[in-house]
C-alpha cells in the first residue's frame, strides 16, 4: 500500500564547486598549470593579468543582474522555444544523451607511434636466408614474445594455436629449428625461454676468452648454485680460484636479463620534477615560498565587465536575454575559479608551514635521523583541517630544500619507542639499518638477527620480524643474496 508523508532531514552534501576544489588541491604544479590553461580555454571571461579596481564594480554588476533577472522574469515575455527546439522542430533532449556526471574525469589513452619491438624483429627476420614457411612460423613466434623478449609459452601450445587459428600443421621439432633463427636476431638473448637460456645466448656471441668460457660453464652447468650464491660449490666443481670466479661473475653481471626492454628503455621520457614548495635556510631560520607557477595572475575579463555595464543601460532590450544569461554564468565561473586558486594557495602554505615546523631539525640539518614521527592526523590537528585535506596536499607534491627535492610523503612516518621511552620515527630506524647494511662486509653480510642485535645496542628494542619488514621496505635482499666475493 502506497503512502505519502512529509519528513524533515538534515543532510550534508558537497557542492560541485567544493568537489572541484578538492580535485584542484591534490594536483601537483605541472597538472595545475594544465588545469588553468583548460579553464581559460573554456571560459572566455577568464584571462591572465592582475585584477584592477573594477573588481567590485563587476561584482555589483553581476549582483544587479541577478536581482533584475529575478524581478523581471515573471513580467518579461520571453520565448523559450529556442531553448528546447532546433530548426527541425525536434526537441533537443531527444537528440542528446546526458549520462555523465560533472565530476567524471575523462582519461584518454594516448597511442604511441613508430615501430614496435616485434616490428624490428620481423624486419630482421625478413633479411635472413630462410624459406617462406620458416619466415611465417618465425613471425608467429615473434608475436608470442613478451615485453622482456622471452618466449614464455610452451612450443606444444603454439603448435596447437597454429593448427586451429592459422590452419598450419607443424611439429615441436620444426618450431625448435625456427626458434633458433629467432634467437639469432638482435638484441642477443631475444627468444629465450628462461633467464638461463637468455644469458647463454648472449655469452655465445661474445669472444671466447677464458673469463667468457668460465662464465658460460657457470650459467650452463651450475646456474642453481649461481642464483643462490653458493660460491664455495662453484669453486669446488670448476676447480678455479676466487679471482677467476670474480672475473667470470663480472662478465655475467654485464649481460642484459631483459633484452626486450633494450630499445624501450632508451625511449623513456625523462620526467622533470617541479617542486611545489621551496624551503631555504637563512641565518638558521626557515623561509617557505610557494612555487610561483602555483600562483598565476588571473582576472575577470574587462570586456565581459563592460557587457554587464551595457546591460544596465539597456534593460528593456529582450533580444540580449540569452546572451546575458551566458555572460553571467561565465562571470560567476571565472570569479569562483580565481577564489578557488587563492584558497588552494592558502591551504598549501598553511599545511607546508605546519610540516616545516614539525620537522624543523631535518630542514636545518638534512639528517634523516632528525626526522620526528608524524602522521596525517598530527598536521590536521595543527591546521584544524580534515585528514583527507592533508592527504590531498601531500599527494604527489615535492619540496625543494638545501638537501635536494623531496617528496612530501617522505616526512610522514609512524613512531616507535626506544629504551629511554622517547618516541622516534621509523624513518630514523630505517636510516640506521640502511647505513649498517651499506657498511657491512660483503663476504659476510649481516643477517636479520645480527641487525636486530645492532639496533638493540643503539637503544631500539625491535623484533627480528620488524627488522625484516623494514629491510624489505628498503628493497634490500636477505643476507645470503647480498653476499659478494
**C-alpha dihedral, 69 to 74 to 79 to 83, nearest 10°:** 60
Q: What is the pLDDT of residue 262?
A: 65
Looking at the 3D structure of the chain, how many domains does it have? 4
Same domain, 430 and 461: yes
Domain assignment present for 272: no
Same domain, 282 and 391: yes
End-to-end Cα separation, the chain, in angstroms = 84
Domain assignment present for 436: yes
Same domain, 397 and 283: yes
Domain assignment present for 206: yes
Q: What is the pLDDT of residue 271?
A: 64
Same domain, 211 and 161: no
Q: Which of 183, 210, 234 is the last residue of a domain?
A: 183
Residues for the chain: how many in total?
Answer: 485
Same domain, 149 and 223: no
Same domain, 162 and 213: no
Tell me which H or E stretch contains 270: none
Q: What is the pLDDT of residue 135?
A: 92
Q: What is the pLDDT of residue 179?
A: 92
Same domain, 137 and 165: yes
Domain assignment present for 95: no
Same domain, 156 and 226: no
Tell me how many degrees the CA angle 295-301-303 measures, rounded to the nearest 5.
Answer: 165
- Domain boundaries, position 339: 277-297+335-411
Domain assignment present for 140: yes
Q: What is the pLDDT of residue 154?
A: 92
Same domain, 171 and 214: no
Q: Which of 151, 183, 215 is the last residue of a domain?
A: 183
Query: 114: which 3 cell numbers?
Result: 613508430
**Going residue by residue through the chain (485 aa), what tens digit of pLDDT does each one get?**
678 888 887 776 666 777 777 888 888 888 888 888 888 888 888 887 765 544 444 444 445 444 444 444 443 433 434 433 444 444 454 555 556 665 555 555 555 556 788 889 999 999 999 999 999 999 999 999 998 899 999 999 999 989 998 888 999 999 999 999 999 999 899 999 999 999 999 999 888 788 888 999 999 999 998 888 888 888 889 888 888 888 988 888 889 998 887 655 444 555 678 888 999 988 888 899 888 776 677 888 787 777 766 665 665 566 666 677 777 788 888 888 888 888 888 999 999 999 999 999 999 988 888 888 888 999 999 999 989 888 988 888 899 998 889 998 888 887 777 776 677 788 888 888 988 898 888 888 889 898 999 888 888 888 889 889 988 888 888 888 788 76
Domain assignment present for 41: no
Domain assignment present for 220: yes
What's the half-sphere exposure (Cβ side, CA atoms, 13 Å) at 477?
11
Q: Which of 396, 411, 426 is the last residue of a domain?
A: 411
Q: What is the pLDDT of residue 110?
A: 57
Q: How far apart are CA 472 and CA 475, in angstroms?
A: 5
Same domain, 284 and 400: yes
- Extract long-range pairs of 190-195: CB within 8 Å, 24+ residues apart: 190/121, 190/145, 190/149, 190/259, 190/260, 191/141, 191/145, 191/149, 191/150, 191/151, 192/149, 192/150, 192/151, 192/259, 193/150, 193/151, 193/152, 194/150, 195/257
pTM above 0.75, yes or no: no
Same domain, 122 and 165: yes
Domain assignment present for 45: no
Same domain, 239 and 341: no
Amino acid at each position: 500500500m502506497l503512502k505519502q508523508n512529509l519528513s524533515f532531514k538534515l543532510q550534508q552534501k558537497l557542492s560541485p564547486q567544493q568537489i572541484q576544489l578538492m580535485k584542484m588541491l591534490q594536483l601537483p604544479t605541472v597538472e595545475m598549470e594544465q588545469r588553468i590553461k583548460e579553464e581559460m580555454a573554456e571560459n572566455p571571461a577568464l584571462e591572465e593579468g592582475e585584477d584592477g579596481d573594477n573588481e567590485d564594480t563587476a561584482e555589483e554588476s553581476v549582483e544587479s543582474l541577478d536581482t533584475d533577472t529575478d524581478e523581471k522574469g515573471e513580467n518579461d515575455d520571453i520565448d523559450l522555444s529556442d531553448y528546447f527546439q532546433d530548426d527541425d522542430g525536434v526537441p533537443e533532449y531527444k537528440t542528446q544523451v546526458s549520462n555523465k556526471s560533472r565530476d567524471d574525469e575523462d582519461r584518454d589513452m594516448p597511442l604511441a607511434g613508430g615501430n614496435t619491438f616485434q616490428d624490428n624483429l620481423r624486419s630482421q627476420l625478413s633479411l635472413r636466408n630462410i624459406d617462406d614457411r620458416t619466415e611465417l612460423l618465425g613471425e608467429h613466434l615473434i608475436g608470442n614474445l613478451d615485453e622482456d623478449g622471452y618466449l614464455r609459452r610452451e612450443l606444444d601450445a603454439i603448435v596447437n594455436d597454429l593448427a586451429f587459428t592459422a590452419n598450419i600443421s607443424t611439429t615441436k621439432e620444426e618450431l625448435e629449428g625456427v626458434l633458433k633463427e629467432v634467437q639469432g636476431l638482435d638484441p642477443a638473448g631475444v627468444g629465450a625461454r628462461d633467464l638461463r637460456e637468455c644469458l647463454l645466448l648472449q655469452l655465445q656471441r661474445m669472444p671466447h676468452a677464458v673469463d667468457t668460457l668460465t662464465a658460460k660453464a657457470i650459467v650452463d652447468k651450475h646456474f642453481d648454485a649461481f642464483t643462490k650464491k653458493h660460491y664455495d660449490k662453484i669453486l669446488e666443481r670448476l676447480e678455479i680460484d676466487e679471482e677467476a670466479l670474480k672475473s667470470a661473475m663480472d662478465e655475467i653481471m654485464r649481460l642484459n636479463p631483459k633484452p626486450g626492454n633494450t630499445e624501450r628503455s632508451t625511449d623513456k621520457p625523462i620526467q622533470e620534477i617541479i617542486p611545489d614548495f621551496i624551503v631555504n635556510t637563512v641565518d638558521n631560520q626557515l623561509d617557505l615560498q610557494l612555487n610561483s607557477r602555483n600562483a598565476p595572475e588571473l582576472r575577470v575579463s574587462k570586456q565581459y565587465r563592460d557587457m554587464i555595464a551595457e546591460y544596465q543601460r539597456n534593460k528593456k532590450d529582450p533580444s540580449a536575454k540569452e546572451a546575458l544569461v551566458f555572460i553571467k554564468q561565465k562571470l560567476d565561473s571565472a570569479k569562483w575559479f580565481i577564489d578557488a586558486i587563492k584558497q588552494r594557495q592558502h591551504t598549501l602554505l598553511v599545511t607546508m608551514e605546519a610540516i616545516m615546523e614539525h620537522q624543523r631539525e631535518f630542514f636545518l640539518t638534512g639528517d634523516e635521523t632528525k626526522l620526528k614521527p608524524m602522521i596525517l592526523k598530527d598536521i590536521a590537528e595543527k591546521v584544524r583541517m580534515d585528514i583527507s585535506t592533508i592527504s590531498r596536499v601531500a599527494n604527489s607534491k615535492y619540496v625543494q630544500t638545501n638537501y635536494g627535492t623531496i617528496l612530501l610523503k617522505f616526512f610522514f612516518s609512524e613512531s616507535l619507542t626506544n629504551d629511554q621511552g622517547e618516541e622516534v620515527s621509523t624513518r630514523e630506524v630505517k636510516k640506521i639499518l640502511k647505513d649498517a647494511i651499506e657498511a657491512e662486509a660483503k663476504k659476510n653480510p649481516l643477517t636479520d638477527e645480527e641487525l636486530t642485535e645492532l639496533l638493540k645496542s643503539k637503544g631500539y628494542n625491535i623484533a627480528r620480524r620488524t627488522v625484516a619488514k623494514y629491510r624489505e621496505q628498503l628493497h634490500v635482499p636477505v643476507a645470503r643474496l647480498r653476499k659478494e666475493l
